[in-house]
A = this chain, B = another copy of it.
Amino acid sequence: MSGGVDQNPEWLATSIMHRRGASAGREGETHSLTEERQSTYHYTIGPYSEPVLHIKPGDRVVVETRDAFAGALKSERDKPSELLRVPFLNPQNGPIMVEGAEKGDALAVYIESMWPRGENPVGTCANIAEFGGLTGTLYTAMLNEPLPEKVRKISVDREKVYWSDRVTLPYKPHIGTLSVSPEIDSISSLTPDQHGGNMDLPDMGPGSVTYLPVRSSGARLFIGDAHACQGDGECCGTAVEYPTTTTIVVDVIKGWTLDWPRLERADFIMAIGSARPLEDATRIAFRDLIRWMVADYGFDIWDAYMMLSQCALVRLGNFVDPKYTMGAGIRKTFVEE
A residues touching B (Cβ–Cβ < 8 Å)?
Answer: 43-44, 46, 48, 87, 125, 127, 132-136, 138-148, 150, 152, 161, 163-164, 166-167, 169, 182-188, 229-240, 259, 273, 275-280, 282-284, 286-288, 290, 301-303, 305-316, 319, 324, 326, 328, 334, 337
Contact = CB atoms under 8 A, between A and B. Distances in A.
Given A134-B142, A313-B232, A48 B186 contact: yes
17 contacts: A43-B184, A46-B46, A48-B186, A87-B182, A87-B183, A87-B185, A134-B136, A134-B283, A138-B284, A141-B280, A143-B301, A150-B302, A169-B334, A231-B309, A232-B313, A235-B312, A236-B309
Contact of A283 (B140, B239, B306, B313): B140
Contact of A311 (B134, B147, B229, B282): B229
B148 A310 contact: no
Contact of A316 (B87, B236, B316): B316
Given A185-B187, A186-B46, A143 B234 contact: no
Given A186-B185, A279-B278, A142 B150 contact: no
Count this chain's copies in the assembly.
4
Contacts of A135: 136, 142-144
Contact of A141 (B132, B287, B308, B310): B287
